[in-house]
Amino acid sequence: MHARSQLWLFIARNAIVWLAMTAILVVVPDALERWMDLSVARVIGWAFACGIWVIAVEQHWKARYGALTRFVAQFILWVSAALIAIFISDLFRG
């Protein structure tokens, strides 16, 4: 039973961090767009969001999975966060 609760904690932590990353990828570029090109602002937002991921959950991923599995899964999670954030951002732009 302990392993199951650890798995749910891992999933919940990742879901929260993924939502935070998505929010960061919407808010930061839109806030910085006044001072720089949107593509540069999105890169800065991406760097900030990835830093949050590394601080909050990377150690948990390293404890559970090897490098290749981490790369593939995190690539999917990070790109999905970025694409959803771009969609949301563009939706409000009109």
Q: What is the pLDDT of residue 94?
A: 66
Locate 71 and state its tokens. Answer: 């790369």
| pLDDT band at residue 5 using 50, 70 and 90 as cut-offs | confident
Instruction: Tally the C-alpha atoms within 13 A of residue 49's C-alpha that lie toward its C-beta.
Output: 29
| pLDDT band at residue 4 using 50, 70 and 90 as cut-offs | confident
Q: Do 24 and 48 meet the contact criterion of CB atoms below 8 Å apart?
A: yes
